[in-house]
Amino acid sequence: MIRWLQAGDTSFPPTANALPEPNGLLAAGGDLSPERLLVAYGAGIFPWFEEGQPILWWAPDPRAILLPEEVRVSRSLGKTMRNGRLEVSVNQAFPQVIEACAAPRGEAGTWITASMAAAYARLNELGHAHSVEIWRDGALVGGLYGVAIGRVFFGESMFSRSRDASKVALVWLARQTGPCGPRLIDCQLPSSHLESMGSRMISRSKFESLLAEYCSQEPAACIGPRPRRPLSWHDTPVESG
């Protein structure tokens, strides 16, 4: 049995109570207030549900993560970053990014419901949710958004309207090294898209130990608002094949 959460109470059951099947289902109900969402992410829990369902909260084991220093970049992606006439910005088009991420893809629907979009828009207003935008010739062609706590970026979704545009956004984020950048990017669930870029699975206990270390550190400065600017050779990764 999973616990039903009450509105106004931001506590969660221990993640060890999550179901093995479906993997990681921990609780249901509650709300999407900024306070609850920040508590959830800091504990390694995230909401994921479809329209018509109650809010479902997850803490899967194992967990998909991406360490910035392990990002793999193909030769074609490196070429796109150098020669694609691309620009990057941060927090300049958050509503447009989340709208693009919420758009149905093929026969699949979307899990980014209106209530989810509104909740993350509020987190963005409060400085906790962020978007990375990729532009070409003045048009938004790709991007991603997520929640940041300390030096951890909890990735939520990404989109591309041009080849590799979402990958460019992720590489840019990962390459913000030193005191500026994230130490850990949470991918939540595995995907071939992210695996091709170097994501891997770790145990829930290991993930939570990393959160305890990195969430308490000073926030990553790279995800503050940045106006649009051209990608430069400093953004171009070393090619890996």
pLDDT at 111: 79
Return mean pLDDT, the chain: 91
Q: Per-residue pLDDT tens for 196-219?
A: 999 999 999 999 999 999 999 988
Mean pLDDT of 10-24: 97
Domain 3-60 falls in which CATH fold? Alpha-Beta Plaits (3.30.70)
- Percent of the chain exceeding pLDDT 70 equals 93
pLDDT in tens, 66-104: 999 999 999 999 888 888 799 999 999 999 999 999 997
Q: Which residues of 139-162 are buried (b: 16+ CB within 10 A; e: fewer)?
A: ebbbbbbbbbbbbbbbbbbbbbeb
- pTM of the prediction? 0.93
Q: Is the pLDDT of residue 116 over 90?
A: yes
Residue 32 has pLDDT above 60, yes or no: yes
**Domain 64-235 CATH (choose: 3.40.50.300, 3.40.630.70, 1.10.357.10, 1.10.260.40):** 3.40.630.70
